[in-house]
Structure 1
Amino acid sequence: MFANPLVAIVDDDASFRAALEGFLRSLGCRALGFASAEDFLQSGAPDRVGCVVSDIQMPGMSGIELARTLGARDRGAAVILVTALAGEQWPRAARESGAVCLLQKPFDPQELALCLSRAMGG
């Protein structure tokens, strides 16, 4: 489906990261997993990835803060935010952070595929 782009998954839930990595690979993407936004930012990966899929609520830096940080960079990667949290504030916060999509966990994998297509200009 995709031409082998590199996607970062930033989520403190290891099982979610592993499942998402497998799904992304099935779409033809390469995937890198990170347990925190700080780990991702310190890894050197932000300059290499085409898209970041990040949980909103994590210890330390939130996904919203990560999206804002990446958006402030010249070549910031597109961000897709995911959350298990209900609340009217999340869609607005996601939009204001510059995120391409916000998905509510659990989400249909095809919704993620559509967000990835939009994030990567497809």
Structure 2
Amino acid sequence: MARELEIAVIDDDESFRVALVESLQSLGYQAVGFSSAEEYIESPQSRLFDCLVSDIHMPGVTGWDLITHMAGEGEGVPIILITGRSDRSFEAKANAAGAVSLLRKPFEINELVRHIETAVQE
């Protein structure tokens, strides 16, 4: 059973976001979904999370933009980026931006859990 970690899932794809939140909740995480980076940033809950899982490609503020914003705010919360695109340069870019990892859709929930657990232990 997962520790009582609070995970924010930020993805503009509603069906994917809801499925991911429900999967994480079924594993014992306190997961909350946000439809955009702007919604997350404006939320009074935004400073309560132990880890963020964010899509890279969203309208408006992208996952890349979110990492930059969080770093500018001095937020040290680990961010796991997710993408459905196959661009191989994303790994290096995610690393350089400060993401703890990058996962490509579709991925298994257990793979995400491993990344979350590793991220919060660092």
TM norm structure 2: 0.93
Residue identity in the other structure for 1:92: A
Q: Which residue of 2 aligns with 1:55?
A: 55
Aligned pair 1:34/2:40, yes or no? no
Q: Which residue of 2 aligns with 1:12?
A: 12
Residue identity in the other structure for 2:95: R
Q: Is the CA contact 1:65–1:97 (under 8 Å) kept in the aligned structure 2?
A: no
> Deviation at 1:69?
1.6
> Deviation at 1:32?
1.0
> Deviation at 1:81?
0.4
State the 4+ residue runs in structure 1 displaced beyond 2 angstroms. 71-76
> Deviation at 1:27?
2.0
Q: Which residue of 1 aligns with 2:100?
A: 100
> Deviation at 1:86?
1.1
Aligned pair 1:116/2:116, yes or no? yes
- Percent of aligned pairs with the same residue? 39
Structure 2 unmatched ranges of 5 or more: none
Q: Is the CA contact 1:9–1:31 (under 8 Å) kept in the aligned structure 2?
A: yes
Q: Which residue of 1 aligns with 2:78?
A: 78
Residue identity in the other structure for 1:111: E
**Structure 2 SS opposite 1:19:** helix
Q: What is the CA RMSD across the aligned residues, in angstroms?
A: 1.3
> Deviation at 1:111?
1.1
TM norm structure 1: 0.93
> Deviation at 1:92?
1.3
Structure 1 unmatched ranges of 5 or more: none
- What are the Cα deviations for residues 1-48 of structure 1, in whole angstroms up to 9, with x where unaligned? 322111111000000111111111122111111110011000022210
